Each structure stands twice: as structure tokens, then as C-alpha cells.
Structure 1
Amino acid sequence: GNGNGNGNGETDTPDDGAEAELRTYDGELSDDPTRTEVLQHVNGLAHEQAPWVFLHQQFSIYGINDDVSWDARADESIYVREFETDLDEITVSQGQLLETLDPTGENATPQYNIIDQAYDNFLGREDDTGRPLEGIVTDWERTDDLEIELQIRGDVEFHNGNDLDPSDVAFSINRANNPDVSEVADNLGDINEARAEDGNVILDLDSLTPTIFRNLTAFGRVVSESWVNDDSNDISTEINGTGPYELDEYVEGTRVSFTKFDAYWGEEPDPNAVTFNGIPEDGPRVDALISGDSDLITNVRPGDIPDVQEADGVGFEDVPSIRNIFLVQNDAFEPFDSQEFRQAMNFAVDVESIINSILNEFGNQTSQPTLPGHNGHNGDLDPYPHDPERAEALVEASGHAGVEIELHTPVGRYLRDADIAEAAASQIDELDNVSCTANRRDFGDLVGELLAPQDESPAFFLIGWGNPTLDGDYAMSPWFTEGPFQHFNNDEMAELLQQARNIPE
């Protein structure tokens, strides 16, 4: 661990008598644990080590035109093909647009919401369980510990008129798993190679990868090998997919427009055209809905719901999402290398008041990285209570009394993100022995910085982490094992996460 403990998760009581007990979890693993038990144990260790200030499970709140019928998905995905409407054209406004049209060029929900109108996942998924469903891959089987066989749908056409071949799917998986071109290479799985064989696709694995089928629902999209390899095409500004819509216009930083693809293999969608745009500020997004400039908007502030309800022709949909909102405490920097200090920040932030006052109860307080209902969630862990006195005592025990810290926050990426961060910073600042300010940041700039090496990343920042696999591995491994998102170093947690990757479901 990174605390100043005595090896038992405890510290010696300082001279002033302040309580500095650090043990918050007393679970133990059996000699032959299941994969789920290992993940539950790592969640318990995370509760105790406090690499994050645990905040809340985000609710997705959408504003929607009354002429559109749509059930908001727990996985935050927006598939216009699911809309039931007589409207010919649909406009969707998000807090963020995207950085690239390359389906593996960015791992972020706003990007997927846009490109998934035109690109298909390898497998579909149930939005509330993560269970794989048929997609371009129609059947999937583990034929050996280290071999997967995928059957590929026939009679599928790319937008440029080329037929889909199993070799395109194999190429797409290999490309998604190539860290030189893909931002999701670390997440797809421990795949040595995908290859087309006898009309199917075979995956040769380097390790068991128990989440491989869940991963194929979430990471990577089906692309055309010949089109991608043709230097006259630019996958960052053009699209050639197999999805229900084809790209009509891309104006970087402004909008992405699609029209219906007549040769789509699946059920024909209702709208003939759809446009996505980015409106970072919450108020103007609501104004766009009420004025009729947008038919669906994301991240409606709870306080704006009455305005939406009172307006003619619009309403709202809400659903608990698969996204966890938290404050990362980067242990490459003081004071966050101290377990006492990290726990102190959890006791300092009044999450319940933030949920009640800022989110109008649209949020569930969390106690660990893995959300309830997801594989590996530990139901025995309680959230940190608000306890400023204990926070101050732990700050004293950490040796960092008087420290000044800065909390970086995106604006408009998550539901009331900057307001939440500013409230948390204010509550921390109320401690007698810590000063804290919030710094509003452009989301793209902040992500670019946090993906830098850990010792060059911000020390303290708000972020959201969606978990499309609904599995504890994706909730924790990117943050606690080697990779661009790692901001915490604990050998026991990292080794257990690797162990879980080698235990069958």
C-alpha cells in the first residue's frame, strides 16, 4: 500500500490523540476464490486505500421532443435506430462533440453516440446487464481456453457498396487491438491475433480473458479492410461502416450529419436523417430543446426539469447510468501519496448533500469503483460518511496540514460536473488544515493531460468512467494497473486484478 501504516492497515496514534485508524475493510479471500470474489475483494481494498474520492453513480437525464418515443438506456448509448417517430430529421445535442470519426480513435461515450449511427459493434448488448446479443457476430463460442470462434453475419454491405467479409471483421479486431492506432487496445482483451478461417473468425488469445465477449460488445467497430488501407480515404474525417446511417457531412467541432443507409442489414430506422452537435453549457442545451432546434439533449440539469416540463412539446427521460463519477487522487504527488490524506478527502466531501442539493437526488452515493449490479460489486461496503473532524485528524496524521490543492474539473461533460467539483472543493476548503480550489477545464484538454505519464498528469481531478462491460475488471484495471489511465500504485490490487483475468467465469 501507499499509506504510512504499520502493515495492518493502521497507523500509530499521533501525539495529539487524533484517531488515525485506516482499516475500513476486513474481508479475506479463500484459497480458491471465484473471479467474482477476487473482484469483490479488490473493491474492498480500494475502499480502504481510497485512490479516489468516491462520489456517485450518475443518472442520465435527457430532454426529448414529444414526437419521439425512446426508452433511455442505462448504458448511455443513443441509437437513433431505436427512436419511434414520424419526424423525418432528428437533431441530438450533447455536451461534447468528438475529436475524430475513427471508431478506435477515442474511448468516450459522446464519440460512440455519434459514430454508432454508422458503425456496428461486433456484438450487441443488453443495456442493463451487459449480456452479449447478436450483431455482426451471430454466434460466439470458446472452443479452447485460448481460442474463440465467431460466426459472422452474411449479406452485410458497407456504405461504399462492398460486401462484408469475415476478413474485415478479423482486420477490425486486430486494428482495434493495435496500440499504435487504437485508444481501446488495452481494453479489447489479451488477443494475439484474429484471423478469418472457413468463413468464421478465430481469436487466438494470450490469456484466458474471461470478459472477451463483453469486451466485443463495447470496444472496436467493424470497418472495411480495403477501405481503411486505401490511402485516398481518411478514417478520421470519413466513415465507411455497416450501420443504419451513412455520413452526410462532418464539420469539425460543429456537427456530424447522417442520412439513412438503404442497404442496412437490420431493421430500417424511422428518421431519414440525424445530426449531432455539441453544446457544452447546460442552459443553452435546454434552450435548444425548448426552441425546437434539438430533438434530444443530454445531461439536463435536475433544476432545469421544471422548465422542460412546463414547455410545450418536450419532456424528459431519466435512468441510472453505468457511469461512476469520482475525484482521482494521483499518488504520484503529495499529499495524495498518503493513505491518511486520501481517506481524509473522502470524509471531507459531503456526497449526500451534493446528491440532494445539486443533483436533486438524481444520483446514488458510491463506496467503491464497481457499481451495484455490476459483476464484482462488493455489497458489504458502506460509503464514507461525512465527518470533517475525522478528516482534519487524518490530515494531521498525514503530515500535510496546511496544504493547498487544486481540483480540476471538466465543464459540460457530465451532469453538473463543474458544480459538483466546486461544491466538493468548497467542502474540503472548509477544513481547518487544507485549502482547496476548483479549476474549470475544457474536457479535451483535461483528458489529454490525464493520459500523460502519471507523474505529468493532474494531481486531483473529477472524471466519469462508464463501464459498458458491466464488469469490475473494466471498472478498476485501467486505473490500478499499468496503462495510460493508471493513477494509483498498489501491488496487491494490481496482482489480484491480473489473477482475476485468468479465472474463468
Structure 2
Amino acid sequence: MRKYLVTAVLLVLLSFSMIAADKYDSELVVGTDQNPTTMDPAMYQDLASSQVMRNIFETLVAYTSDVQEIKPLIAESWTVSDDLKVWTFKLRENVFFQKGKFQDGRNVTAEDVKYSFDREMEISPMVRIYMIDTIEVVDTYTVKITLQYPYAPFLTVLTDIGAAIVPKEEVEGWGDDFVLHPIGSGPYVLKEWVKDDHMSFERYEEYWGEKPYVKKLTYKFIPDKAVLTLALLSGQVDITSDILDQDIPKVTANPNVEAVMVGGNNIYAAYMNATKGPTTDPKVREAIFKAVDVTQIAKVIFPNESGVPAYGPIPPGSWAYNPDVQDFYTPYDPEGAKQILKDAGYSDGLKLKMYTSDDPNRRKMAIVMQSMLKQVGIDLEVISLEWGSFIEVSANGEADIYAIGW
């Protein structure tokens, strides 16, 4: 796996919504500025894909709505050995896959867990469950997972949609076209996917769990956040979290829109390549840390305070957040950065490339970083790409630094 040193920069976003009708046959249009790149859980590398796939696929366990605890989902219970390496999951016996071309809506079993996890470890570009050693089917509804070593956040890993359970018949029956005909055990089925425009889902009426409130769910892809705000205000979309900080006054002033500020689980971050290039040198990475003032970046990008400085990859909205992390963060020290670069052999400076998606906040973050790094002798070229190209560059480890978020 590629390893990157994370420089967490900004967090906390706003959610804005139009109030939906109180009935089970309601429709909801979600506005978002990012396009999904895949509908195969094993292959996704971006938040946009993860969000839409949760309508179709499910995992063994899931977070509660306040993201403070992990609850059963496909698994009804689990135990862990004293050495924290062997996890045994008992599955619910009433979970069914959606009906598809190659199976008729059968039960989800332990064999499906093994197949899904084996497949994830074999083909996933992210290999999120890399800590797993072996997977054993104990009986129809019991699976034993042995880890290579104790891994405290293992249940958290299993909440990720990359660990979703999929039916072998549909995956292998459709082959490469499974991404266009995704089948899981979730509450919605995909009805239409028009690339770069929208994706529509309809409630699966035979869903094994609690009946979803919304009957038809549509994601409308609008990459320009300013245009997305106009779509919200005009009623073209009902809800979005992708509002520019500068548009907050405009949105809050509209009587037809309910603006809700919530504690964020979102991060804007700059990743540095630790596999090739100048940033493989820990001293160069330390110098960049010292040269970047996250407090100033937060003020520039979020003057209306919808974002605050972050000092690590875990946001305040997470149960795992520790406010003391700020005490361990490398402080802003441009003079110290200059000295570190000189000691590392870069007295004449160095050139780096930073890639961003076409998200305006990420571009703005990169431009501010460009200015700050110039002050210590680092010439940073900022390159913005559309989402698909950006994902390819970042996944292949071609960037010295890239701006990302989750």
C-alpha cells in the first residue's frame, strides 16, 4: 500500500435542506458537486461513490446515526478472542439480497462474507481490510475472521462500504458490468445512472429491514458549487451539504430553506507522497508542516466560520476525536522550515506539484499553500483536474502533494 503523511487542514461543513413531505411515497433530490466513479464496493476510492453505494449495499456492522457507536447490521452479534485477533460474527437469518438476474433474492450467508472479503483483498486498489489473515465459514450464518495482528479499530473498518457484502452470482454473472447492475441487501435499487448528470434509486419494497421513508431518491451532480446553491434556492434540489462558505448568508436569508449547522465529520487535507519524490524525505515533510498555517487557511476559505482548523485526520464530530491532539501538532514556524530545508540539502529550494480536484475549496487551499510554501523556498505548482482524472493521478501516486477530503 502507498503511504502518505496527512496534513489535516479544514473541517466542519454545513447541511442545508428543503423540508420533505411527511409521507412514505415522497421523493428527494440530493444535490452534490461530485460524481461517483464506480458502483462496485471493492473498487471505490472516493467519497461520492461511497455515499451513493450505501443505498444498495450493506456491511456486517454500521455506525449509529450520531456516529458515536457501532451497531449490528447484517451481523446480529459478534465476539472477539482474548488476544483480539479472532472475531466471530453471527449473521441475521432474515437478511436477503435484492432480486437480480442471477439469483432470486436469497439469504445472505457466511459464504457471502467470505467471498466478498476475499474479493476485496484480491482486487481492491485500497485493500481496506488488509489486516485480515484468514476467513473461515463456521456454519451457514457464522463466520470466523482471524487477523494478522490485534487491530483495535477493526469494527470501524467493517463499517466502510468497501467491506460491503455482495452476491457471488451477480458479481460473476455480470462481470465488468456489475458496476452498472449493482445488487446488495440494502433498501434501494439503482434505476438510472446518467454519467455527469444524475443517479436515481427506488425503494426496494422487499427490503428485509425497516422501510425507508423516501420512495424515490435522486442524486443530481452539479460540480459548480455556486450553481448548486442556486439549484437549492430555486427548488431544483431538496438538500445538499456542498455549500460554499461565501454563500451562507444568501442561503440563511432565504425563508424557504432551513439551514442547519452540525458538528462535522469532514476533513480537507493535503496528502504528501511518501513513496517517491522529494516528499519521501521526512525532513521535507516536516518543513512543509512548519511552513503551512492551518489557522490562516481556515480563515481564508471559511470566513463565515463553517470550517475550523484541524490538527489531525480525525474530526471533532467523531467519537475517536481527542482535543489534546492540537498539543502534538507541528507548529507554524516558517523560519524553522527554511532551516530544515537547508539542512536537508535544499538551500536553493525545490519544486513540487500539488494536484486538486475541481472543488473550489480545495483549489483555494492549494493556492494559499502555494503562497506560504513560496516564502520558505518551495515552488509549488498547483494543477486542478476533473474528479475522475484526479482520482487516477492520486491513486497512482503521481502527485507530490494532493488535496483531498472526506
TM-score by length of 2: 0.86
Alpha carbons 2:20, 2:26 under 8 Å: kept? no
Report how far residue 123 of structure 1 moved. 1.0
Alpha carbons 1:170, 1:196 under 8 Å: kept? no
Corresponding residue for residue 11 of structure 2: 58
Aligned residue for 2:15, secondary structure, equals strand
* Whole-angstrom CA distance in 2 between matches of 1:335 and 1:107: 25
Counterpart of 1:311, as a letter, is N
Provide closer, same or farther for how the CA distance between residues 345 and 185 of structure 1 changes in structure 2, counting only shifts above 3 A: closer
- Out of 61, 80, 92, the residue aligned to residue 123 of structure 1 is 61
1:250 and 2:202 are equivalent in the alignment: no
Counterpart of 1:153, as a letter, is R
* Whole-angstrom CA distance in 2 between matches of 1:266 and 1:238: 22
My pick for the range that moved more, 440-449 or 330-339, is 330-339
Alpha carbons 1:168, 1:222 under 8 Å: kept? no
- Out of 197, 200, 205, the residue aligned to residue 262 of structure 1 is 205
Aligned residue for 2:228, secondary structure, equals helix
My pick for the range that moved more, 349-358 or 364-373, is 364-373
Provide closer, same or farther for how the CA distance between residues 333 and 154 of structure 1 changes in structure 2, counting only shifts above 3 A: closer
* Whole-angstrom CA distance in 2 between matches of 1:365 and 1:374: 18
Alpha carbons 1:88, 1:272 under 8 Å: kept? yes
CA deviation string 1:338-395 (max 9, x = no partner): 4443333223222212212311233332334455666485637344443333333333
* Whole-angstrom CA distance in 1 between matches of 2:367 and 2:255: 33
* Whole-angstrom CA distance in 2 between matches of 1:366 and 1:356: 12
Corresponding residue for residue 98 of structure 2: 159
Corresponding residue for residue 211 of structure 1: 153
- Out of 361, 380, 388, the residue aligned to residue 416 of structure 1 is 361
- Out of 106, 109, 127, the residue aligned to residue 185 of structure 1 is 127
Corresponding residue for residue 341 of structure 2: 395
- Out of 64, 67, 88, the residue aligned to residue 149 of structure 1 is 88
Q: Residues 219-230 of structure 1: matches in 2 within 5 Å?
A: 219-230=162-173
Corresponding residue for residue 365 of structure 1: 309
Provide closer, same or farther for how the CA distance between residues 205 and 308 of structure 1 changes in structure 2, counting only shifts above 3 A: same
My pick for the range that moved more, 167-176 or 348-357, is 167-176
Report how far residue 143 of structure 1 moved. 4.7
Number of equivalenced pairs:
394
* Whole-angstrom CA distance in 1 between matches of 2:200 and 2:112: 26
Alpha carbons 1:131, 1:214 under 8 Å: kept? no
CA deviation string 1:165-205 (max 9, x = no partner): 3145424543453322x345343631412425153223244
Corresponding residue for residue 95 of structure 1: 33
Corresponding residue for residue 427 of structure 1: 372
Aligned residue for 2:209, secondary structure, equals coil
My pick for the range that moved more, 319-328 or 416-425, is 319-328
Alpha carbons 2:15, 2:262 under 8 Å: kept? no
Alpha carbons 1:422, 1:437 under 8 Å: kept? no
* Whole-angstrom CA distance in 1 between matches of 2:67 and 2:16: 24
* Whole-angstrom CA distance in 1 between matches of 2:136 and 2:34: 33
Alpha carbons 1:67, 1:86 under 8 Å: kept? no
Alpha carbons 1:176, 1:220 under 8 Å: kept? no
Aligned residue for 1:276, secondary structure, equals strand
* Whole-angstrom CA distance in 2 between matches of 1:85 and 1:424: 48
Report how far residue 396 of structure 1 moved. 3.0
* Whole-angstrom CA distance in 1 between matches of 2:66 and 2:351: 41
Corresponding residue for residue 289 of structure 1: 232
Aligned residue for 2:184, secondary structure, equals coil
TM-score by length of 1: 0.70
Q: Residues 319-338 of structure 1: matches in 2 within 5 Å?
A: 319-333=262-276, 335-338=278-281
* Sequence identity percentage: 20
Corresponding residue for residue 290 of structure 2: 347
List gaps (5 residues or longer) in structure 2.
Answer: none
Counterpart of 1:114, as a letter, is V
1:113 and 2:51 are equivalent in the alignment: yes
RMSD of aligned residue pairs (Cα, Å): 2.9
Corresponding residue for residue 461 of structure 1: 402
Provide closer, same or farther for how the CA distance between residues 226 and 171 of structure 1 changes in structure 2, counting only shifts above 3 A: farther
- Out of 73, 78, 83, the residue aligned to residue 135 of structure 1 is 73
